[in-house]
Amino acid sequence: MTRSNHHSSMPAVVVDGLRKEFFRNDGRAGLRRRRKRVAALEGVSFEMHRGETLAILGQNGSGKSTLVRLLSTLLLDDGGSAHVFGHDVAAETRAVRRLINRVSVEASFFKKMSAVENLSYAARFYGMPIRETRERIPEILGRVGFPRKRMGEPLEDMSRGMQQKVALARALLTAPILLLLDEPTTGLDPRSKLEVQRFIREIRQIHDATILLCTHDLVEAEELADRVGILDRGRLIELAPAAELRAKYDAVTLEDAFFAATGKAFEDEPEEEDD
């Protein structure tokens, strides 16, 4: 049975009552450092079906990155559970890691190394030998619009938009069936942003990937996602198609709906950042 067939009948992601807390410094009591408990996620539950794109909206510190990092097996939860195609993210890390990849706000590369070098070693971590990547890496870089003549240059000489294209290529190279996108277009110029968004659509259409998109860009969320979730101080307070959310709050735009749901403007910074 192929990986694709095996996973076609089950939900892509099942998150059930997921909780995560962190400790933060809270001054001193005498010589002792006081620590306070801060909830990053409080009982978050949702499901994603295969091929779906789900956008999660939330301010800085709302818990978006914590959710992505839990699904990426980089954090251990404090309660609840999360499954990716039936595999528990805490107990079956290896199985989960083979199915996912991620693009975050920072492109995250060895900056002195070239795009080809960064992608080559990363591909090996996913079990791809040299003979498989020798042609595939230039091909995939070409598809994301990365100029062939710059493939050997250090990434530190590239723009952020260019680096983000390489990040998308890295994610796509491993053929993930769940792609976690954590603010992939934040800070990009309009042209780069459009190119990245176009490529996200292509990933979904051609590769049948399930996509969890955490974003600050409400237009992006509405255009790319089948459903939109609103995460507010660690709680998932809404999860519905954008049109339904607008209708529910009698809002013209998704931003108005967000404001009505959370009681604050999207740009308002919370007092504390938890992720």
Mark residues 8-47: x for contact with other proteins by CB under 8 A, - for none: --------------xx------------------------
What is the CA 231 to chain-centroid distance, rounded?
Answer: 14
Asked if 3 interacts with other proteins (CB under 8 A), we say no
Asked if 162 interacts with other proteins (CB under 8 A), we say no
Asked if 125 interacts with other proteins (CB under 8 A), we say yes
Nearest to 184 by CA among 176, 175, 193, 174: 193
Asked if 85 interacts with other proteins (CB under 8 A), we say no
Asked if 110 interacts with other proteins (CB under 8 A), we say yes
The b/e string for 217-256 (b: 16+ C-beta within 10 A; e otherwise) is: bbebbbebbebbbbbbbbbbebbeebeebbeebebeebbb
Asked if 109 interacts with other proteins (CB under 8 A), we say yes
Spatial distance between the Cα atoms of 145 and 254, rounded to a whole number of angstroms: 31
Pick the binder of other proteins from 112, 198, 201, 264 (CB under 8 A). Answer: 112
Residues 43-72 within binding reach of other proteins (CB under 8 A): 66, 69, 72
Q: At 224, which helix (H) or strand (E)? A: helix 218-224
Query: Of 55-63, 99-107, 185-193, 224-232, which segment contacts other proteins by CB under 8 A?
Result: 99-107
Q: Which is nearer to other proteins, 50 or 170 (CB)?
A: 170
- Helix, strand, or coil (residue 113): coil
Dihedral in degrees, nearest 10, Cα atoms 154, 99, 126, 109: 20
For 175-186, the DSSP string reads: --SEEEEESTTT
Instruction: Please give the residue ranges that form the binding site for other proteins (CB under 8 A).
Output: 22-23, 66, 69, 72-76, 94, 97-98, 100, 102, 104, 106, 108-113, 117, 120-129, 154, 170, 275
